[in-house]
Amino acid sequence: MREHEEQFSAANTADKTSYRWLIGLVNFLLSFATQGSIIFIPLLGADLGATDFQIGLVGAVYGTAFLSSSLYSGWMSDRQGRLPFVRWGLLISSAAFATQLLADSVPILMLARGIVGLSLGIATAAIIAYAFEAGADMGKYSSYGSLGWIFGAAAGALVADIQLLFWLSFISCLLGFLLSLAFPQKQPYDFTRPPNLWQVLRRDYRVYLSVFLRHLGATAVWIILPLYLASLGFDKFWIGILWVINFSVQFLVMRVLAGFSEYKIFFYGQLLSVLVFSAMAFFTGRTHLIIIMALLGVAWSCLYVGALLIVLRSGEEKGTAGGIFQATLNLCSALGPFFGGIIAQGMGYRGVLYFAAALGVMGMFAAAPAKQSKPDISSGSLFKKNITGSK
């Protein structure tokens, strides 16, 4: 009897491991589709005659749509379950990626990117909550997203055909939907009271504000970075290679972060971000930028995984917390390109890098204690005392 129980337990563990791996694979495919489409959007906009400001506006439309959709869908997934949002989001997103093939003018490009943002928002918050509740290592889960970004960037470097990349995004997302059909159904969480969006936001507002400020600067940089690199003499191949380096580092670093305090890695991610954005404005050689993009990968890995673990572990409303987290990132995706376009138009590309570094400093202060003369960075208490104290 005992031997039978041990065999059943081993089989059950293997089954859980199998579908956790499938969750990671779907995250990889979704990230591949997203990155494969987005990497050359600024260059496509420029080819269609868009100004720097209009290119920023294209990114803003995408980010606004993504924000609204992820916030609502994450909240609703706490009430109705994760899988309907994961599956429908993936299916609709595959169709949305195909609409980008119709973009033959700047207004149509804006519309297509808005549709993509709405579609992706349906799936992203729900799949994060689903993965967490399935017991997935969130560092490793996130690393599969970075691996998808690697392959998306590599596809951009090797293919260098925007229309073909849109087709690859469509196929990848459709495959993710088909794999999600194998996910086991889980009953919606039985809350003692309905999830309250405001209470979840208030509980970890310091984290969300800090992430918002840092990522606002980052998204302002990302929208102009291909143009900045092109102005330095980099072709599409080398732009893609720099993206691959950044995402490769993210994949490796995210997989080893689970053993560290989420508060420590969150802080060091912020600090390194400030240094990297500042360095990018001064060091423009190929070797320097390879190192800088690698360090940027470390910075984002620490900040993303640290912040995600903080908000997911702080309460039972995983979908709502994941939705707010994604909405925070997507609000940056809406506003950052807008600011990036304006600043680049008036102050040049380096002005955007200075803007990102300044916001990174503000983000560190947003998460730091209001009154503490000598913060204890080594213990991680710089954030833990403050963030958990806001509950």
In whole angstroms, how large is the CA radius of gyration of the chain? 20
Computed over every residue of the chain, the mean pLDDT equals 81
The candidate with the shortest Cα–Cα distance to 304, out of 165, 142, 120, is 142
H/E stretch holding 184 reads none
Average pLDDT over residues 97-110: 90
Q: Rounded CA gap, 201 and 327, in Å?
A: 11
At 355, list the tokens: 């803007």
H/E stretch holding 204 reads none
Task: With a cut of 60, say whether residue 310 has pLDDT above it.
Answer: yes
Beta carbons of 103 and 112 less than 8 angstroms apart: yes
Average pLDDT over residues 27-52: 86
Up-side HSE of residue 185: CA atoms within 13 Å toward CB?
A: 3
Query: Confidence band (pLDDT; 50, 70, 90) for 62?
Result: confident
Residue 288: its pLDDT value, please? 92
User: To the nearest whole percent, how much of the chain has pLDDT over 90?
Assistant: 28
Q: Rounded CA gap, 341 and 95, in Å?
A: 29
Q: Rounded CA gap, 96 and 90, in Å?
A: 10
H/E stretch holding 97 reads helix 83-99
Q: Rounded CA gap, 385 and 391, in Å?
A: 11
Task: With a cut of 50, say whether residue 384 has pLDDT above it.
Answer: no
Residue 19: its pLDDT value, please? 67
pLDDT digits (tens, 9 = 90+) for 139-153: 888 888 878 877 887
> DSSP assignment, residue 39?
T
In a domain, 188, yes or no: no
DSSP letters of 103-146? --SHHHHHHHHHHHHHHHHHHHHHHHHHHHHTT--HHHHHHHHH
In a domain, 174, yes or no: yes
At 180, list the tokens: 């999600």
In a domain, 310, yes or no: yes
Residue 168: its pLDDT value, please? 92
Average pLDDT over residues 96-120: 91
CB atoms inside a 10 Å sphere around CB 20: 17
Q: Rounded CA gap, 350 and 365, in Å?
A: 23
Average pLDDT over residues 254-266: 85
Q: Rounded CA gap, 364 and 268, in Å?
A: 10
Residue 369: its pLDDT value, please? 52
Residue 345: its pLDDT value, please? 85
Dihedral angle sign, alpha carbons of residues 337, 332, 219, 23: negative
Task: With a cut of 90, say whether residue 2 has pLDDT above it.
Answer: no
Q: Rounded CA gap, 10 and 8, in Å?
A: 5
Domain that holds residue 327: 2-183+196-388
Query: Confidence band (pLDDT; 50, 70, 90) for 388?
Result: very low
Counting the structural domains of the chain, the total is 1
In a domain, 7, yes or no: yes
CATH number, domain of 284, equals 1.20.1250.20
In a domain, 189, yes or no: no
Residue 191: its pLDDT value, please? 56
Q: Rounded CA gap, 306 and 247, in Å?
A: 17
In a domain, 318, yes or no: yes
Task: With a cut of 90, say whether residue 292 has pLDDT above it.
Answer: yes
In a domain, 275, yes or no: yes
Contacts of 101 (CB under 8 A, 6+ apart): 163, 166, 167
Residue 387: its pLDDT value, please? 47
Average pLDDT over residues 271-278: 94
At 144, list the tokens: 């599969």
pLDDT digits (tens, 9 = 90+) for 185-207: 766 555 556 566 777 777 888 88
Q: Rounded CA gap, 131 and 78, in Å?
A: 14
Query: Which residue did the predictor score with more confidence, 7 or 217?
Result: 217
Q: Where do the DSSP E strands lie in the chain? A: none
Average pLDDT over residues 247-276: 88
pLDDT digits (tens, 9 = 90+) for 8-19: 333 344 455 566
Residue 11: its pLDDT value, please? 38
Residue 335: its pLDDT value, please? 82
> DSSP assignment, residue 185?
P
Query: Confidence band (pLDDT; 50, 70, 90) for 221?
Result: very high
In a domain, 289, yes or no: yes
pTM: 0.74
Helix 318-347 and helix 106-133, axial crossing angle in degrees, nearest 10: 150
Query: Which residue did the predictor score with more confidence, 377 or 319?
Result: 319
At 54, list the tokens: 């209009």
